[in-house]
Structure 1
């Protein structure tokens, strides 16, 4: 499941960087060693909304599965695996394949040749395949968190103005911030900066700032003594309602729900 098509959109370029990361490369090798299944990573299409695992079965019974990788509410990529059949090769399971080929006008020798390929397709027990998908679901969550962090890190391949803008944004998160002010700080016209920033990061300036503020808020909310209202203003939101709306849109949960989940899933992480 290796895709060699050159990336053309910001999302595709970003997902290519994610696929080349040490985290994905290490997991891809470990997953194949454990399950003998291939594992690929592909940017999701802009008009495609995959909310949960999707498994499709071809006429020969070969299954392929997509596991969504999400940043907040947005599916940015899919993990791809499969290429196996979940049923044994016998006359009953080949019958639908033979019928489909016959209906398409294939000859008897062609159908016999298809039967040879059918019998040699790798087979996996359904329970084992489901277990592999459960492992991928957990990895998809981890990969989504890594992707979120990568969005806000400065990258050497990015234009200097974008790198400088990210540094400026992180240093001034608590302050009111406009596109014009950041563009001026990095010596680029607002119009050019808007296009440059979106092309390099895949995000609008406003969305990037809000996501950076929410990311910082998450770290602050890990401290039990921090009050949600104070956190909202400390990361630059001008109202609690705006903070709550942005947090839920980006993190898919409220600040209170995030803090509660962190407390119950890992008390040791909640540093005083």
Structure 2
């Protein structure tokens, strides 16, 4: 059993830096690239993974972008309205997906990607109509453009707007659910990336991390691992946090939760059985640690994995 407190540890500067770096790594990862390619090809909608609190208007890849939005991108008022909409939808999507309607009836959706209790990114999609466009609606849009003093060619704008992707609300809701499932998978990948990013430079700590990985299913204490590292327990505790960005208990929990994720994909294994097999001392301890790291319970994780 572990001798340090099992309370959720505060986020250290090392963890915060790691989370920022993880967004970049996730964006470049094969799992995200493959999903983005399949989602865009299958739905005709754009998809973008980005860090929270973007300071400029979010622009999708040109070939994914709604032609009407591309046309409007040089209009200052449109950019301001788009930025305000994106900030609003993100502020309302801290815990769950949120869709809001913006200028010209085009909707934007943000889906949060959370590692445990921490929001690290959003999956963004949108520039879509949830209703069939008609001429009266565009006439209202044209009046707004005229009031803005926009130089956009109205005939070109009309054609672009009428060619916007249209999806029935229930179908769009189902697509957002798929993105939400993927967001949970990305969060799991992000947790592993954080652990990998936190690989220490000191050989003594590296040796300790290897020992933890190999013995995480056993009863393991800070004092025992400190001996492996050739340090006193107090000295090792401080150096471990410096090197990995998290304390000893949190590191061991993340390693165990990572192994539990693999076992949860086997529906024949009971969750209680998995909890003890990966090294937790009780089911309640496992549930708390899993939710802290993954943002959902083991049962919810298994249900989401089955849904894919």
TM-score (norm 2): 0.59
2: CA distance between counterparts of 1:21 and 1:247? 23
The answer to whether 1:142 aligns with 2:185 is: yes
Among candidates 238, 241, 248, match of residue 194 of structure 1: 241
User: Residue 4 of structure 1 corresponds to which residue in structure 2?
Assistant: none
Deviation at 1:82, TM superposition (A): 1.8
**Stretch deviating more after TM superposition (214-223 or 63-72):** 214-223
Distance 1:259 1:69 in 2: 14
More contact order relative to length (CA 8 Å, sep ≥ 6)? 2
CA gap 1:239/1:135 in 2 versus in 1, 3 angstroms: closer
Name the CA shift for 1:82/1:92 in 2 (closer, same or farther; >3 Å): same
Q: Which residue of 2 aligns with 1:5?
A: none
Structure 2 unmatched runs, 5+: 1-15, 54-89
Whether the 8 Å contact between 2:110 and 2:125 is mirrored in structure 1 is yes
- Equivalent residue for 1:83, pick from 92, 104, 127: 127
Match of residue 51 from structure 1: 95
Query: Distance between the aligned counterparts of 1:91 and 1:176, measured in 2?
Result: 69
Gaps of 5+ in 1: 1-7, 267-272
**Post-superposition offset of 1:53:** 1.7
In 2, Cα distance between the equivalents of 1:87 and 1:225? 45
Match of 2:250 in 1: 207
1:106 aligns with 2:148: yes
1:15 and 1:186, CA in 2 relative to 1: closer, same or farther beyond 3 A? farther
What's 2:104 paired with?
60
Do 2:27 and 2:49's aligned partners in 1 also have CA atoms closer than 8 Å? yes
2-side partners of 1:22 and 1:131: how far apart? 24
* Residue in 2 that maps onto 1:133: 176
Deviation at 1:75, TM superposition (A): 4.2
1:3 alignment counterpart: none
Whole-angstrom distance in 2 between the partners of 1:135 and 1:211: 26
Among candidates 12, 17, 29, match of residue 25 of structure 2: 17
Distance 1:120 1:225 in 2: 53
Is the aligned partner of 1:42 residue 2:83? Answer: no
| Cα distance in structure 1, aligned partners of 2:34 and 2:269 | 37
Q: Pick the aligned partner of 2:35 from 21, 27, 39.
A: 27
What number of residue pairs does the alignment pair up?
Answer: 244
TM-score (norm 1): 0.66
Asked if 1 retains the 8 angstrom alpha-carbon contact of 2:20 and 2:51, the reply is yes
**RMSD of aligned Cα (Å):** 4.3
**Equivalent residue, structure 1, for 2:288:** 245
SS in 1 for 2:187: helix
Residue 69 (structure 1) aligned with residue 101 (structure 2): no
